[in-house]
Structure 1
Amino acid sequence: MTCRRHLLLFAAATLCLSASPALAADAALQAAVGSPDRAPANVARDGARHPYESLIFWGLKPKQTVIEVSPGGGYWTEILAPYAKATGGTYVAGLADLANPQISDGARKGRANFEMRFMDPAKYGTVRFVNFGPVAAPLGAAGSADLVLTARNVHNWTSQPGVADKIFADFFAVLKPGGLLAVEDHRADPKSDADKGADGYLATATVVALAEKAGFKLDATSEINANPKDTKDHPFGVWTLPPTKRTAPAGQPEDPNFDRTKYDAIGESDRMTLRFRKPS
């Protein structure tokens, strides 16, 4: 009886030890999502973007090297950088390609501002910044990253011949065998994307084809970021919806008389949430 009890206690202790890393990872991610250091405007979008659930689905884990390209306003950076710091990982941001002479002054300034914002080791650890773009050098050493994330960017690449292919090939090259590619983008389905994403929407099949052409395998899909209220039929494309809330064509002054009521009621777009894997 005593021997059996000891065996049961040993098994329970072993189970607790084996479970603790996962529990710690969840706690670290919950802490990052709930951090008071996040911008209030970003926190206000959590109901539409589901950061905790999305990152768990995409395969985020402790000690990973995570590369995010074109992080925009830093929605994911505010979560991923502190998470990497807390769990012994590395966060890398792929920003405007400073080696490209065609990059605008605005893009250069935007990168400088982003770097300054996240250059606080106490909050974010050591964030690394690399060049990213249609003619940029590799994102890092081949096979060096565990997870690459691109959120709401693919539609910007598909209208330029060869650009999306080059970028997906870069993702494939930098990931380790078995590494993961996380994609979020505005979903055209069930409509087509004959305009190649000019309205901001892409068909899921288009993104899957790009990834598979680069060598990835579709690992899983999720409806975490689905929005059935999104008709995908808006006067200024997806940018009519929050958070952009465009009221006039791009490049024109905003229209103060534009009625936003029904577009604000839709909320943020219907989005595909995809996970691809680089074969081992």
Structure 2
Amino acid sequence: MNARKIAIALLSITLIACSESDVSFETIMSSDHRTSDQVRDQYRKPNVTLEFFDVQPNHTVVEIWPGGGWYTRILAPYLKDKGQLYAAHFDKDSSVEFFKRSRRSFEQDLQELADVYGNVTVTTFHPPEQVDIAPAGSADRVLTFRNVHNWYMRGGGDEKVLAAFKAFYKTLKPGGLLGVVDHRLPEDMPAEAMNASGYMHQSYVIAMAERAGFKLLEASELNANPADTADHPKGVWTLPPNLRLGEEDKEKYQSIGESDRMTLKFVKPE
């Protein structure tokens, strides 16, 4: 039995032991199945972020564009016994090779971690065309981590962003919450910087969510990084973990850490 299978077996035993009292985010975060993920915990703060979004073990949660499954490896075990996770991923038939490769890798992880993940349903999300991410009015939480800039930048602008938020609104139950994390562009920097930098004005994200019908409940600074000036040569990808400049000024960007991020909590009104 290889090391990953042993880790999966051990986590399964832990989840069974904790099933009556509900396993905590911290227990899952320290599990061996996410050893390679843990280096980023200091920047992404998943436990406090998910607590801020008030994710409960009996919830139906939709994770938008989970990519390689970094958050899925926390959410799926957490929701396994009492909840339901929908992973609204890239189109498996996309013309973009990165999208197809990412979806294949994610589904392979689902198979390898089946005993840990449990109840995960994969759907397709590609606004504005493919937006049926889960049954209408079924979700307690919709969560999107560092994705709004992608919809904005990939030739969609307001149209794709608004279509995304409208899909989230449709999917949530009345009173359900939308959690958004994304790279934050300082408000005094021009909006044109959103076209290619990967950073977004927080005011823009709030405005688009409100156009879709949401109400902002709270904006948190828990994922803030005051050291990030958001004006780097290769945009947000200049910083870790991408470090697009390679060895050039590597120590400088490593010392900054990952990006300054907005963390926004919206509600679909009752």
TM-score, normalized by length of structure 2?
Answer: 0.86
1:196 to 194, 197, 204: 194
Q: Deviations over 1:54-86 (max 9, x none)?
A: 100011012101111111221101100000114
Checking the alignment, whether the CA contact within 8 Å between 1:188 and 1:202 is kept in structure 2 is: yes
Deviation at 1:197, TM superposition (A): 4.2
Checking the alignment, whether the CA contact within 8 Å between 1:191 and 1:203 is kept in structure 2 is: no
The aligned residue for residue 68 of structure 2 is 73
Checking the alignment, whether the CA contact within 8 Å between 1:130 and 1:139 is kept in structure 2 is: yes
The aligned residue for residue 31 of structure 2 is 35
The within-5 A match list for 1:49-198 is 49-86=44-81, 88-98=82-92, 102-119=94-111, 120-134=113-127, 135-159=129-153, 160-161=156-157, 162-192=159-189, 193-198=191-196
Checking the alignment, whether the CA contact within 8 Å between 1:180 and 1:276 is kept in structure 2 is: yes
The aligned residue for residue 240 of structure 1 is 238
**Larger Rg belongs to:** 1
CA distance in structure 2 between the partners assigned to 1:48 and 1:121 by the alignment:
27
The within-5 A match list for 1:222-233 is 222-233=220-231
Deviation at 1:97, TM superposition (A): 2.1
Deviation at 1:179, TM superposition (A): 0.6
TM-score, normalized by length of structure 1?
Answer: 0.83
Q: Structure 1 counterpart of 2:109, which letter? A: R
Secondary structure at the aligned position of 1:208 is classed as helix
CA distance in structure 2 between the partners assigned to 1:221 and 1:51 by the alignment:
16
The aligned residue for residue 4 of structure 2 is none
CA distance in structure 2 between the partners assigned to 1:70 and 1:265 by the alignment:
28
Secondary structure at the aligned position of 1:156 is classed as helix
Q: CA RMSD in A?
A: 1.7
Secondary structure at the aligned position of 1:92 is classed as strand
Q: Deviations over 1:151-185 (max 9, x none)?
A: 01101112314111111100000000001100000
Checking the alignment, whether the CA contact within 8 Å between 1:64 and 1:145 is kept in structure 2 is: yes
CA distance in structure 2 between the partners assigned to 1:197 and 1:260 by the alignment:
25
CA distance in structure 1 between the partners assigned to 2:228 and 2:149 by the alignment:
17
Gaps of 5+ in 1: 1-22, 248-254
Secondary structure at the aligned position of 1:226 is classed as coil
The aligned residue for residue 3 of structure 1 is none
Checking the alignment, whether the CA contact within 8 Å between 1:239 and 1:245 is kept in structure 2 is: yes
Q: Structure 2 counterpart of 1:182, which letter? A: G
**Matched residues, number:** 245
Q: Deviations over 1:195-221 (max 9, x none)?
A: 334101111100000100000000111
Checking the alignment, whether the CA contact within 8 Å between 1:96 and 1:103 is kept in structure 2 is: no
Secondary structure at the aligned position of 2:66 is classed as coil
Secondary structure at the aligned position of 2:193 is classed as coil
Secondary structure at the aligned position of 2:143 is classed as strand
The aligned residue for residue 14 of structure 1 is none
Secondary structure at the aligned position of 2:140 is classed as strand
Deviation at 1:102, TM superposition (A): 5.0
Secondary structure at the aligned position of 1:232 is classed as coil
Checking the alignment, whether the CA contact within 8 Å between 1:81 and 1:127 is kept in structure 2 is: yes
Deviation at 1:113, TM superposition (A): 1.5
Secondary structure at the aligned position of 1:94 is classed as strand
Q: Is 1:279 the counterpart of 2:269 in the alignment? A: yes
The aligned residue for residue 19 of structure 1 is none
Q: Percent identity?
A: 44
